[in-house]
Amino acid sequence: MAAERLAVEVAYALPHKQRIVALRVPEGTTARQAVASADLPALFPELPSDTFTQAPLGVFGKALRNPEAHALRDGDRVEVYRPLAVDPKVARLARAKRQASDQER
């Protein structure tokens, strides 16, 4: 009897371009293995090919602590996260300072 295949998706997005790759993977496939199978470097040739090998991953918006060991379930969507352009804490602080100075005027 053949091993069961799972239907999963791998998603990656840039501000101007998004892709979701539907895959059928063997049971026991990890999140990192699914990303490798999705061949995202071919879909995003403008990015360095190693962009996807160490990127943080999540499943349905929940970050994975160990994507190399996280076995996927049927229907999972693996999300490849981009690095943040600005630390959210720094952005909030800058916004608060701007609002405070705007109110003083």
CATH T-level assignment (fold) for domain 5-104: Ubiquitin-like (UB roll) (3.10.20)
pTM: 0.78
Residue 94 to residue 27: CA distance in whole angstroms: 47
Instruction: Show me where the domains of the chain are located.
Output: 5-104
pLDDT tens digits for range 30-56: 999 999 999 999 999 999 978 899 899
Three-state SS at 54: coil
Q: Is the pLDDT at 85 greater than 80, yes or no?
A: no
pLDDT band (50, 70, 90) for residue 98: confident
Which tokens go with 40?
A: 């995202």
The per-residue pLDDT for 12 is 97
pLDDT, tens only, 50-70: 889 989 999 999 999 999 999
What are the backbone angles phi and psi of residue 34, rounded to the nearest 5°? -65, -40
